Amino acid sequence: MGKLARSATRSLGRGGTAIPGLVAERFDPDVVRSLAAPLESVVLVTGTNGKTTTARLLAEILSADGRPVVHNRAGSNLMRGIAASLLEAVGPLGRLPPDSVAVFETDEATIPSAAAAHPPRALVITNLMRDQLDRYGEIEAVRERWVDAIRRLDQGTVLVLNADDPSVATLAEVAPGPVVLYGIEDATAALPLGSDEPQVADALWDPQSGIDFVYDRRFYAHLGHWQCPGVGRRRPLPDVRGVGIELDPHGVVFGIDCGSHAGDGAEEHYGARLSLPGLYNVYNALAAFTAARVLEVAPDLAAATLGATRAAFGRGEELVLDGHPVRILLGKNPAGTNEALRTLRPTRGDAPLPLHLLVLLNDDIADGTDISWIWDTDWESLAPHVASVVVGGSRAADMALRLGYAGFPEPRLAPDDEHDIDAALRGAIEALPSGEGLVVLPTYTALLEVRGRLAQWAGLRAIGDGA
């Protein structure tokens, strides 16, 4: 019945990312456990930002290693989405290809259920930042859920943690099994100490001692080389380290060091590149590379595959429509949106290009009904580089007000209905000067709608069709 539901949604032009799972769960609430039982290994990837890209990078690495991979590539990360990805992978009799491995992007609150369905070989946690406060609560509440889930993990589960996020790195203290850490060592990638560049720091103090974190290096938000003076808690040395980072608007070149910290000759170094811009994608690549090592993929193959992986839908994805390049950057919380905006600002020595933006703000349940986070996002830093902006979505007027205060050119509402994302997209593209591009900055549900529309116009696959 789940497979029939998938066929029906596809025939109607829908992606079918969750409905098949919902249907199957109606007949068998334990469908994920039963379908996943034959899997050789399961990797769960969670965190506030970066989990879709990290999971995609890891799935591509495992595919390049010749392993059949089950992956919720469309980002539907509740149990229904995991069920839908399994339904897509199984044959008519409900069987998976032999030796299949699974990479499941998992919602922050879904980790306990996903881990109970199939003990994971690895649990990857990217970062912990403020997001959807109406749904999750403050980050301390999310971390406590993770602590409870980690304590229940099998001793064979490897915890893959971001050493540069103190809220994540300190989860190692409750891990029942092995822990592997990754982080960035490159001092040139850090913000200058005392920098006045606005940053949203969501983890300010150590949850045990209450002492404020102090940084030797800070890369963005609250990620960096941290310590708690006086209590001896500090960033642990990571097992996998990003070095030699060179950023440009179209990607990143960097190195990966792993192995010994002691200089005993066991150090390994691999060169890597990404077609995804931004320092935050270096973190995603390091997380995927580290998880691949846990699964015993050859490190040189893992590093080489990073450069061949395309952006996940809406995470820096680019396409051409009517001669105009269109780039989509998801923005759903202050820290993530700030890093997306950072990739749009001209780098030193580059001639600034006029930016034409379409900003789409929704307040559905999946977006978070509280949109006050837009006032904590550093729109001001991008304002001098923007030539035009169109706003749309259910909270278009709120977005227009925020951008007006940030000093943007007067935002234009969608011509017919300010809530109509289709009208906003058409209006933004029609107003573009010849040959110039559009950057679309949507929240999550707006991303699904605008990406589906662009897929129709540009002849792309829909989300959930292998996009």
Predicted confidence (pLDDT) per residue in 174-187, tens digit: 999 999 999 999 99
What class, spelled out in words, does domain 2-183+274-306 have in CATH? alpha beta
Q: Where are the alpha helices (DSSP H) in 295-420?
A: 299-306, 334-344, 396-405
Q: At what angle do helices 334-344 and 279-294 cross, to 10 degrees?
A: 110
pLDDT digits (tens, 9 = 90+) for 58-100: 999 999 999 999 998 877 788 888 888 888 888 887 788 889 9
> Over 50: is that where the pLDDT of 54 sits?
yes
Burial class (CB in 10 A: 0-12, 13-18, 19+), 430: exposed
Class of domain 315-458: alpha beta
Q: What φ, ψ does residue 27 adopt, rounded to 5°?
A: -85, -35
Q: Give the whole-angstrom CA distance, residue 400 versus residue 246.
A: 35
314 falls in which pLDDT band (50, 70, 90)? low
Q: What is the pLDDT of residue 355?
A: 92
Contacts of 161 (CB under 8 A, 6+ apart): 125, 168, 169, 171, 172, 179, 180, 181, 182
Does residue 331 carry a pLDDT above 50?
Answer: yes
Q: For the chain, how many helices (H) and strands (E)?
A: 15, 18
385 in Cβ contact with 345 (< 8 Å): yes
Q: Helices 2-11 & 19-27, crossing angle to 10 degrees?
A: 150
Please compute the mean of the pLDDT values over residues 132-156 and round it to a whole number: 85
201 vs 181 pLDDT, higher one: 181
By annotation, the residues acting in catalysis are 370
Q: Where are the domains of the chain?
A: 2-183+274-306, 315-458
With a cut of 90, say whether residue 137 has pLDDT above it: no
Tell how strand 240-248 and strand 438-442 pair up.
Answer: unpaired
